[in-house]
């Protein structure tokens, strides 16, 4: 049973930056896809960025210029570097994981992922 624990959220001013981390434990897949998602109050959960075990990445078009996903396989940790933060980035941020390969066309769909962390809050003030 996989466990995902996010950290690194907080409150920042517009234009600031944060780096989120997600520690994974409990399993180790030969092939996998991991990603970052967020959910603002009253809105649906949306995909931000994903990375697979080959290091291939996919980003939501609206965030690809400001957010960068990466993974440290030795430490079983997933990261999300966020820059030029905007008030509309305020949300709960989640990491998620799924075994095996996921096609790029569906990789940013939350329902595809089987394991989720508890989330870390990001608040951006203007």
Q: What is the model's pLDDT at position 91?
A: 98
pLDDT at 100: 86
DSSP tag of 31: S
pLDDT in tens for each of the 126 residues of the chain? 789 999 999 999 999 999 999 999 986 677 889 999 999 999 999 999 999 999 999 999 999 999 999 999 888 999 999 999 999 999 999 999 999 888 888 999 999 999 999 999 999 999
pLDDT at 41 (0 to 100) = 93
pLDDT of residue 23: 95
Q: Identify the pLDDT of residue 45.
A: 98
104/20 Cα distance (integer angstroms) = 23
- Give DSSP secondary structure letters for 43-72: S--EEEEEEETT--EEE-TTTTTTEEEEEE
The pLDDT value given to residue 98: 93
Task: Give the per-residue pLDDT at 103.
Answer: 87
């Amino acid at each position: 049973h996989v466990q995902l624990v996010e950290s690194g959220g907080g409150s920042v001013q517009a234009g600031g930056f944060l780096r989120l981390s997600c520690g994974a434990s409990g399993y180790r897949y030969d092939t996998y896809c991991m990603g970052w998602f967020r959910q603002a109050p009253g809105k649906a959960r949306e995909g931000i960025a994903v990375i697979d075990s080959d290091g291939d990445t996919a980003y939501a078009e609206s965030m690809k210029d400001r957010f960068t996903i990466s993974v440290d396989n030795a430490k079983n940790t997933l990261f999300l570097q966020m820059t030029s933060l905007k008030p509309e980035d305020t949300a709960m941020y989640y990491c998620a994981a799924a075994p095996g390969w996921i096609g790029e066309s569906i990789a940013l769909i939350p329902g595809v992922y089987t394991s989720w962390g508890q989330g870390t809050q990001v608040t951006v003030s203007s």
